[in-house]
Structure 1
């Protein structure tokens, strides 16, 4: 297997691991994600798909795109960290579950029992870093791996 392929597999697996970790915190740890937590997941999903495509597609543009996806989630993670630490304000809205097919009574019950998940509170941390902070740092590393894969694509 080529260096390029190994780097792409590593970066794509890193994004997959980050998504699995997020889902683990959400579904096993019962920590409802906030709006910005969801925002951080989308670039990881894109990077994973890009990784699958890049394995079978020669050239540098897909690894570069994967690197940009990793940088995007890292940037959102740093922004989220700033919100958590009170450096700046975050979004003023919260998230909710799907509402399709509900009666007005069921919708009101869902609204009244939905957990309020604030973007400016830290539900979990390790070594004083929140999940958003860890995502920001790890994603920077993943971006470096993507860009190394692009360089190996010459």
Structure 2
């Protein structure tokens, strides 16, 4: 199990594989982002997207799926997230794309108010099958501390 103490600033990881389907793009859009270019091929063809594209929020959800799978496979003592600091949709995601993630740990610190928790910040970049970045975000993660009674370094 990986705990706060095991997180190294600068550590890089590559993980995930998510195949984007037309059915899922349309299903997500109907429920959460019902704009025409996410729902209808003809309407999408008349936009700057040129064809049906996934919602940016759907790209976030697909990324979360890959992130959680990676945490489970690597047995990380994750405790959720207090949020993200920035989010950018760089390129459209289309049905037929295959996504993957690269992450870099930017910083980490122990929580002063909750000594059993650590907080780490990572830059996540999502790439398509052509190694083109399609989304980036800076994520804050909460993680269990192995020894909550150990002194907090300042």
TM-score by length of 2: 0.28
Q: Which structure shows the higher strand fraction?
A: 2
Q: Which structure shows the higher helix fraction?
A: 1
Higher relative contact order (CA 8 A, sep 6+): 1
